[in-house]
Structure 1
Amino acid sequence: MIYTFEIDPAQVLGVRSDASLEQIRDAYRARSKKYHPDLGGDEWAFRLVARSYEVLSRARVSGRLAAEAAAPTARPAPTVDPVSSAPPDSEGASVRKGVRDQVEHPALLVDVELLLLRMELENPYDVIALPASERNLSCSLNVVWPIAIPGDAGPGPDRALIGPKVAAAFNDVLVRSQPTSSWQDEGATAFKGWLSYSTAQRCYGGFNLLRNALKARGLGVNQRIREIVIPRDTA
């Protein structure tokens, strides 16, 4: 017989449900010092703490992404720049610009953020020595449509015709890439969802599948890569 039970990630970390990413990170560090196996803590409890951090961090970033997409003012349009990185944002995440496909109207663009939560590497050789499962806590694609559209962009195509295409592309990737978990909320004129993967490589593979699925339907991507590094220092 298998028993299951629900946990509240916020309660595990001892934070409010509306806590900032910085507060979540600080709570994770404090719990890590108590439950880390190297310091005599319980391994199962530590994994629960790490999982709670992953869930809350992803929800926090996804919520902010949705709020940005609904903002009345347009964000600066990113250009193709996959290697240069911007200074850390207000919550300590490193953000890099990705690709922005050329489309006839901004309504045809879908926001796709690659969110990478990974453990800090103590040694550069750990990139080779450690399996991906020990380097990454979570790698996910956060998908939001529509993006903020400038006032001078014109009415554009009928959004009621675009929404189903975004959902179809998302579901196509859901089947083909087999993520570890997923969530979506689709409406007639809006869509948001995420796909979570076990490694960054699989996440990038999922992104390429999603981009191709969107392009096949006459849509494009507005991409960013956001990376959050969790210190291993538990002393």
Structure 2
Amino acid sequence: MARTSRRTRNRKPRPRWLLPTVAAVVVVVIGLVLVSQLLTVKKVQVDGAVNQDSASVQDASGIDDGDRMAGVDTGSAASAVSTLPWVDTVTVSRSWPSTVKITVTEHTAVGVLDDGGTPVVVDSEGRQFLRDAQPEGATPMRVSSTDQDAVTAAAEVLLALDHMDPGFRAGVTEIDAPASDSVTLKFGDDREVFWGTSDRADEKAEATRIVLTREGARWNVSNPAQPSVRD
């Protein structure tokens, strides 16, 4: 009499639906791969470009209509776009089936300094990102382009004014920073406010707003808790 092993007795039959399901999944995956290889770029959408021309962003990306969507190298495109002067950060992504999105964040221009007769634009973090341009609304900066600490301090002061009131900085005719601890704001009617360093910037911005409502042409808010008139 033949014996049946325990292993044979315990082996469960495979469900009849398993193989067809696996086959269907494989077919779908292959189909998706084939379709993705056939899809092409029909639109390059550039978002966030204001000062930087959108066309120059697309040109820098190297992505053109008709390119294969699957072949778009988003990393290389983003790296290329990041070299444009106004671009601070950039992301490039596919939006299937046929759109590539390029989203840029531009530098926030707060000031313009003079570098040997050439204007240089400074952003809110003190980075000198653009030469030979004077964007509307950027505050004139009397600071050496080679003294990065002073440039950064001046930019931090201007940013603090923007945080307090977006329109307040428009009243600043010039920011003077011969050193990072000697920042002075100048306003119309020959009024000026000495900040010293950019420390406690938010407090000093509020102190500046208050002293400008009082009489006195020259103020010191280096200690924002005790503003004083300067001789």
| Normalised TM-score (structure 1) | 0.22
| Normalised TM-score (structure 2) | 0.23
Structure number having the greater helix percentage: 1
Structure number having the greater strand percentage: 2
